[in-house]
Structure 1
Amino acid sequence: MNSKVDAKATNKEKLLKHQQHLQRQRDAIAYRMKKLAAKQVEMTKKTEAVKEKIRIKYENMKRVLDEDLRITLTQLDAEQEAAERLVEEKIEDCYHLTQELDQELANIGAGVKTQESDIQNAETEKRISEALKLTDPDLIHPDEFKNEQLLGLAINLLLFIRSQVPVTKKLFQSYAAEVVLDANTAHPKLIVSPKGDTATYTETWQDVPEIPSRFDSTLNVISREGFSEGRHYWEVEVSGKTYWELGLTYPSIPRHGREEESWLGRGKESWCVEYFNGDYTAWHNGVQQELPLLSGKQFTRIGVYCSFPGGLVCFLGADTMTPLHCFCAGTFTGILHQALCPGHDNEGTNWKSLKICDASRSAPVL
C-alpha cells in the first residue's frame, strides 16, 4: 500500500517538475519574442535614420546645383539687361534724329525759307551717316563667347554626373560574385561555353549524358557552385533578346517530369523574373506578379542581388540600377544556386546567348 502511495507521489513530483520546466521554456520563448520585437523596432529606426541622412545629402547636392543655376542665370540676365539698355539708347538716338528730320521736312513742306548753307547740309548728312553706322544692329550683341562657354560647362557637368556610377551600384559591386554555369545541369538544347559564362539555345539536341542533375523538360541551367551565407551580386547580359528568365533556386528544384514544375519561380524552390516580348513578370511558388511599370523598357544587363542573412532577392536593370522586383523570402533554408533560362527561339527573335558579366565593373552608360 505504501509503495503505491510513494509511486503516486513520485509521479506527481515528476509532472510538477515537467510543468515547471515547460513554464520556464515558455517564458524563455516569450522573452525571445519580446527581444525580436525590440530588434525589429531598432532596425526600423536605424534604417530610417540612414535614409534621412542620405536624403539630406541629396537635398544638399540639389541646393548646390540650384544655387549654381541661379548664379549662372543671374549673370546672363545682367548681360541681357545691359544689351537691352544699349539698344534702347540707340533707338532713342535714332528717335531724336528723326524728330529733327521731321521738323526740317515740315519746314520745307510749308515753304519756310532756310538759311542753311551747303556746309550745314553736309553736317546733317554726316550726322545721319554716323547715326546709321553707330546703330547698326549687327554691332550690338551679348557676349556670345561667354554664353557658349557657360552652355559648354553645363553640358560637361551633366555628362560628368551621368558618368558617375549610382551609389547602389558601387555598393552591389562590392558583393560581386563569380558565377560559373554547370554544363551538367543544362537542358540538352542548351550550349554552355567552356568557361561556363554563356548559355545559348539551339534547336539541335546535344549529345550529352543523361544524368539526374540535368534539366530535361525546360531550358534551364544553374551555377556550378552554390552559397549558403553572405551577400552576392551578379549580372547577366540580356541585350538583343526577347525572352529570358533569371533567378535563384535550391538544388531541390525538379529537373524532370512535368515542364511547369521545372520552370523557375513555379515552385517554392526558386525565385525569378521573366522577360517576354517587352513584358516583365516576377514568379515565386507559382504566384505570378505582373510588373506593368516596366513594360517596354529594355536593359543591357540585369543584376540579381541576394542577401542570405536578410532573406532578400532583388532584380535590377543594371544599366541604371532600376528596381525590377524584390522578394522578401524570409529565412533561406539551404544552399542557393544562380539559375537562368535563355528561352526558345521565339519566332527567330531570341537566338542570342545569355552571358554572365563581370559584376565588379560597370556596363557602358547609355
Structure 2
Amino acid sequence: MKKLAAKQVEMTKKTNEVKEKIKKKYEDMKRVLDEDLRITLTQLDTEFEATEKLVEEKIEDCYHLTQELDQELMNAGTQNSEIDQRISESLKKSDPDLIQTDDFRNQQLLSLTINLLLFIRSQIPISKKLFQTYAADVVLDAGTAHPKLIISPNGDSATYTENWQEVPDVPSRFDNTLNVISQQALSEGRHYWEVEVSGKTYWEIGLTYPSIPRKGKEKEEDCWLGRGKESWCVEYFNGDYTAWHDGANHELPPLSGRQFHRIGVYCSFPGGLVCFLGADTMTPIYCFCTGTFTDSLYQALCPGHDNEGTNWKPLRICDASRSAPVL
C-alpha cells in the first residue's frame, strides 16, 4: 500500500510537471503572437500618422492660400485670369484623391495574417495529432451483425434496413439489438478510431468485452451497448448525448447544440481509459476511467432504427490517421 501511495504521488508530480511545461509553452506562443501583433499594428499606425500629417499640411496650405486669394481679390476689386489660374492649380494640388494609403501593402499584411491563422489552426488541437498516431484499423464483423443491419463488403459501414435478412443464426450474432462489433480485438497499448455520423439522428458507438450478451431472450437490455458491465458507449438521440456503462446513464450537456460529423473513441489499456470525443474539433464528450480492463475489447456500433424516417444513413468507419476535410 505504501508503494502504491508513493506511486500515486509520483504520477501526480510528473503529470503536474508536464502540464506546467506545456502551459509555459502556450504562454510563450501567446507572447510571440502578442509581440507580432504589436509590431504589425505599430507599422499600420505609423503609416496612418504620416498620411494624416500630409492631409493636415494640405488643409493648412489651403487655408493660407484662401486667405491670400481673398486679400488679392479685395485689392484687385475683380477676379482676373492670374487669380483664376492660381485657384485652379491649388484645387489640383489639394485634390483628396492624390492622397492615398498603401492599400496593396495593407492587403498583404491582412493576407499574411490570414495565412498565419490558417497555419495555427492546422496545428491544433495538439491532441488530434497525438491520437492520429494511435489510429486503429477497424473492420466490422458481419457475422456478429443483427439481421437488420447491412455491413459493407469491406466491413467499413453499417446500415439499418427494415428487412430481416436471411443470415446464419450463429452464437456470435446479436439478435435483438442493432449491434455489430469489430473482427479484431484490442488487448494492449493505445488505440483511436473515428466514425462518420453525419446526417444521423440516432446512433450508439462504443467498446465491449467479448462476453457481452448477444441473444435477448430473457434480459434483452443486457445486449445493448453500455447497459451491462461488459461495454461502454455514447448514445446520440434527437440532439441529446448520453454516456452509458453498467446500466448507468450520464446525461451530457448539450455541447452548444453541436451535432458532430465524426465521433472519435480513444482507448488506453495502460491508463484504463475510454474517451469519446467530437472528432471535428476534438471536443471531449465523456471519459470513463475504468481502472484495469479484465479482457480484450472490440469496437462496437449501433446505427439505430429508422427513427421515423430520419435515420437511414449508415455509420461509416473513417481513416483516423488523417484529418477530416473542412466542411
TM-score range, shorter chain: over 0.9
Structure showing greater relative contact order (alpha-carbon pairs closer than 8 Å, 6 or more residues apart): 2
Aligned residue number for residue 84 of structure 1: 52
Number of matched residues?
Answer: 325
**Residue 235 of structure 2: which of 260, 269, 274 is its match?**
274
Partner SS, residue 292 of structure 1? coil
* TM-fit CA distance, 1:165: 5.2
Aligned residue number for residue 19 of structure 2: 51
Q: Cα distance 1:221–1:295, how it changes in 2: closer, same or farther (>3 A)?
A: farther
2 CA distance for matches of 1:148 and 1:329? Answer: 53
TM normalised by structure 1 equals 0.85
2 CA distance for matches of 1:55 and 1:137? Answer: 51
**Residue 86 of structure 2: which of 127, 141, 148 is its match?**
127
Aligned residue number for residue 325 of structure 1: 286
Letter in structure 2 aligned against 1:252: S
* TM-fit CA distance, 1:43: 0.6
Letter in structure 2 aligned against 1:270: S
1 CA distance for matches of 2:256 and 2:239? Answer: 6
Partner SS, residue 267 of structure 1? coil
**Residue 34 of structure 2: which of 66, 79, 104 is its match?**
66
Aligned residue number for residue 267 of structure 2: 306
* TM-fit CA distance, 1:123: 3.1
Q: Which runs of 5+ in 2 are unaligned?
A: none
2:315 matches 1:354: yes
Contact 2:140 2:182 in 1 (8 A): yes
Partner SS, residue 248 of structure 1? strand
Aligned residue number for residue 245 of structure 1: 204
Contact 2:190 2:266 in 1 (8 A): yes
Contact 2:140 2:180 in 1 (8 A): yes
Task: Report 1:163-182 matches (<5 A).
Answer: 163-164=122-123, 166-182=125-141
Q: Which runs of 5+ in 1 are unaligned?
A: 1-32, 108-113
Partner SS, residue 35 of structure 1? helix
Task: Report 1:287-306 matches (<5 A).
Answer: 287-306=248-267
Aligned residue number for residue 326 of structure 2: 365
* TM-fit CA distance, 1:333: 0.8
| Structure of higher CA gyration radius | 1
2 CA distance for matches of 1:150 and 1:122? Answer: 48
Letter in structure 2 aligned against 1:62: K
Partner deviation per Cα, 1:81-117 (whole Å, 9 max, x = no partner): 1111111111111111222344456x4xxxxxx4x49
2:185 matches 1:231: no
Aligned residue number for residue 12 of structure 1: none
Letter in structure 2 aligned against 1:288: N
1 CA distance for matches of 2:107 and 2:82? Answer: 42
Contact 1:254 1:262 in 2 (8 A): yes
* TM-fit CA distance, 1:303: 0.9
1 CA distance for matches of 2:287 and 2:77? Answer: 95
2 CA distance for matches of 1:269 and 1:363? Answer: 31
**Residue 283 of structure 1: which of 236, 244, 248 is its match?**
244
2 CA distance for matches of 1:189 and 1:165? Answer: 40
Identity %: 80
Partner deviation per Cα, 1:205-226 (whole Å, 9 max, x = no partner): 0101112211111101111121
Contact 1:232 1:306 in 2 (8 A): yes
Letter in structure 1 aligned against 2:156: D
* TM-fit CA distance, 1:332: 0.9
1 CA distance for matches of 2:258 and 2:21? Answer: 31
2:130 matches 1:162: no
Aligned residue number for residue 152 of structure 1: 111
Aligned residue number for residue 11 of structure 1: none
Task: Report 1:203-222 matches (<5 A).
Answer: 203-222=162-181
Contact 1:278 1:295 in 2 (8 A): no
Contact 2:240 2:254 in 1 (8 A): no
Partner SS, residue 205 of structure 2? strand
Name whichever structure is richer in helix by fraction: 1
1 CA distance for matches of 2:77 and 2:222? Answer: 111
TM normalised by structure 2 equals 0.94
Instruction: Identify the range of structure 1 (157-166 vs 132-141) with the bigger mean alpha-carbon deviation.
Output: 157-166
Letter in structure 1 aligned against 2:230: E
Aligned residue number for residue 3 of structure 1: none
2 CA distance for matches of 1:135 and 1:277? Answer: 66
